[in-house]
Structure 1
Amino acid sequence: MDKSHSKMVEHSKIRWLINKTTEDWVNLAISNPIEILLDHAHCERKAAGVALQLMFRYVSEPGLSEVLSPLAREELEHFERVLAILNSRGKKLQKLASPPYGAILAKNICKEEPMRMLDSFLVAGLIEARSHERMKLLSIHSPDLELRNLYADLLKSEARHFGIYWKLADERFDRNILTSRLDALARVESDALVEMHQAPRMHS
């Protein structure tokens, strides 16, 4: 979206994020509730996969599995909850074309350790932070009471999740290095959304 041509939605700024979501995105999302639900289901599924992937990649890292295993389970519980709402409305999970958001962020993760670990935590946290921001907007602006309640419930977990990824990074890396990489990756995240195509997605 082009921020220069979009009125910014009034809401509190989420830590980590450089830019706020625009009113254009909110209007697009609430006009396409089923497509957003479908995409949200895929986002929850992918978030569980990210936590599991990190557990397997860093299997010997002390304290990591103990944190990421319950996080993955919670993401799958959210996936099942969204799926249940879709099913109650006569919809089944189906493939959707993914926006390039996640791929753009993944391409900017350092390839060499230990920076790969740091960047992986920060990218996962940025995605959770954006999800939290947008679920809050949907919990306020959606005309559908069931969906408002869904997003209001889930955004509490999203806030905790990006806090978990921050803590994992902060416990393992020098704060100056951490904040420098967060600043760089947050700019990538912001630029990715500015360049996004118009599509009703959680991260478009």
Structure 2
Amino acid sequence: MQQLLAPIEQFLACSTPERWIDKAKQNESLTTLLIDHCNCELKAAQTAMFLVRKYAVDKASGEQLLQWAKPFEDFVYKKDRDIEAFLNRDVKKNDLIGELVCKPGFAHGADLVDKMVRLIKEEFHHFEQVLAIMHQRGIVYENRRAGRYAKGLMRQVRTHEPATLVDKLIVGAFIEARSCERFAKLAPYLDDELNRFYVSLLRSEARHYQDYLTLAENIANADISERVAHFAAIEAELISSEDSDFQFHSGAPAQ
């Protein structure tokens, strides 16, 4: 675990505040955390899918991606929430059918597709895993809107290309890195099932952060350390400052 966490702790400009951990380890916080975590997994998949559709693949391939996401979005947004039916879909439910065709003229299309499709598949799987844990514990799924943390990071994204894409990838790296750090912080205070589950997520989340950062560096074709430092400061401020809402990526709970 420490090998995985060392580069992440170096990447992040601050640790999770003790006040957030104190709140998170209370029994009454578990429902909120699991519901928000479940939503975060789906949002991560949707964000990666948007990047692939917008920048990397042709229209037909974009439609294939939408079909891949349809069962998840129907469950969440159309409230077709037969959890048993959703979780027991065809064994190949998380497989993308067919090959994706990259757009011409974008040199990094294949790399973006390769890394993001793997990420999407894993995030879909994590969504289902959290949902199954919630179902076993009698916790009802709720759709949650993006919180202060994600909105605060996205406000810093530049509005001209390729800077927009580079910044979105850097934001993705910070969200994944913070998720990994919080899984590790939370795990010791959770019951055995959730402890094992959160520890099992560390490896994929650590790779996701690295994939986002590698893509940002390659697409920028320049030194991105200044932008990374900028987002590190913004992210640290959002994590360290008081937050009126308690969520998986919220700041220090307001006193």
Task: Please give the TM-score of this superposition, normalised by the length of structure 2.
Answer: 0.71
Letter in 2 for 1:22: P
1:45 is aligned to 2:37? no
Is the CA contact 1:17–1:126 (under 8 Å) kept in the aligned structure 2? yes
| Aligned partner of 1:171 among 207, 218, 223 | 218
Report the Cα offset of residue 67 of structure 1: 1.7
Residue 8 of structure 1: aligned partner: none
Farther-moved stretch of structure 1 (12-21 vs 154-163): 12-21
Query: How many angstroms apart in 2 are the aligned matches of 1:108 and 1:54?
Result: 17
1:147 is aligned to 2:144? no
Please tell me whether Structure 1 or Structure 2 has the larger radius of gyration of its CA atoms: 2
Letter in 1 for 2:202: L
Residue 235 of structure 2: aligned partner: 189
Query: How many angstroms apart in 1 are the aligned matches of 2:244 and 2:185?
Result: 18
Query: How many angstroms apart in 2 are the aligned matches of 1:159 and 1:72?
Result: 15
Alignment of 1:107-186 (within 5 A): 107-142=155-190, 144-176=191-223, 178-186=224-232
Is the CA contact 1:135–1:154 (under 8 Å) kept in the aligned structure 2? yes
Residue 15 of structure 2: aligned partner: 20
Query: How many angstroms apart in 1 are the aligned matches of 2:239 and 2:147?
Result: 10
Residue 82 of structure 1: aligned partner: 130
Q: Quick one: percent identity of the two aligned structures?
A: 32
Query: How many angstroms apart in 1 are the aligned matches of 2:9 and 2:248?
Result: 16
In the TM superposition, structure 1's runs of 4+ consecutive aligned residues that sit over 3 Å from their partners are 95-98
Letter in 2 for 1:150: F
Report the Cα offset of residue 184 of structure 1: 0.4
| Aligned partner of 2:52 among 38, 44, 55 | 55
- CA deviations 1:52-107 (Å, max 9, x no partner) are 01001102342211221121111010000000000000112113464311011111
Query: How many angstroms apart in 2 are the aligned matches of 1:95 and 1:114?
Result: 32
- CA deviations 1:97-152 (Å, max 9, x no partner) are 6431101111110010010011010000000000000001111232x111111110
Letter in 2 for 1:133: E
Task: Please give the TM-score of this superposition, normalised by the length of structure 1.
Answer: 0.88
Query: How many angstroms apart in 2 are the aligned matches of 1:75 and 1:33?
Result: 20
Letter in 2 for 1:115: A
Unaligned runs of 5+ in 1: 1-10
Letter in 2 for 1:203: H
CA RMSD, 1 decimal: 1.6
Report the Cα offset of residue 23 of structure 1: 1.5
